[in-house]
Structure 1
Amino acid sequence: MPRNDGYWFPAKRYGWGWGPPNNWPGWSVLAGFVALVAVGGAVNLPQSPARFIAYVAVLSMLLFAVCWWKGQPPRWRWGGD
């Protein structure tokens, strides 16, 4: 279990980026992202796949911004720390 230093998204042990959330605000952000992608797929995918791709790209950028803001600072990790 990762340490809870007030971060919603802990850093991955290997590589660059964030792992699964370690508290309820992080899980709620991730659940909201998945729910918005599902709703957007039901609404936009039958009409225009390109619109759905743009919608998911915008949601992904927002999720990345939340991870950057509320997650551990990203850097390359080799598993020792």
Structure 2
Amino acid sequence: MPSKYPSYKKIWFPAKRYGLGWGLPVAWQGWVVLVGYLILLLAGMVWLFFKQNAIYYMVYVFAITAVLITICFIKGERLR
């Protein structure tokens, strides 16, 4: 099945049709990024939330979410 996205810019995350943001990944690289984000989120929960302070966990979640959003801006479809 041919892709509807041009080959010169292979996107990892398509834009949502309704609302703001991106949908589920359409490339294996996007899935690696998403699974990596979830693993880091769970590891941070175990390491920071239960053993440290909840504030550290919130800062950690903010930081890795900012990295995920940056990757989506760079490798995702342009938002409408």
**Residue 70, structure 1, aligned to residue 75, structure 2:** yes
Counterparts in 2 of 1:1-81, with a 5 A limit?
A: 3=3, 5=5, 6-46=10-50, 47-75=52-80
Return the structure number with greater strand share.
Answer: 1
CA contact 1:10–1:20 (8 Å) conserved in 2: yes
Q: RMSD between aligned alpha carbons?
A: 1.0
In structure 1, list runs of 5 or more residues that go unmatched: 76-81
SS in 1 for 2:25: coil
Percent pairwise identity: 38
Unaligned runs of 5+ in 2: none
Higher relative contact order (CA 8 A, sep 6+): 1
Give the superposition deviation at 1:16: 1.7
User: Are the counterparts in 2 of residues 10 and 71 from structure 1 also a CA contact under 8 Å?
Assistant: yes
Give TM-score scaled by structure 1 length: 0.85
- Letter paired with 1:57: F
The one-letter amino acid of 1:63's match is L
Structure 1 residue ranges, 4+ long, deviating more than 2 angstroms after superposition: none
> What one-letter code is carried by the residue in structure 1 that aligns with 2:78?
P
Residue 4 of structure 1 contacts residue 22 of structure 1 at CA under 8 Å; is this kept in 2? Answer: no
- Would you say how many aligned residue pairs link Structure 1 and Structure 2? 73
Q: Aligned-pair distance for 1:4?
A: 5.2
> 15-24 vs 59-68, which deviates more?
15-24
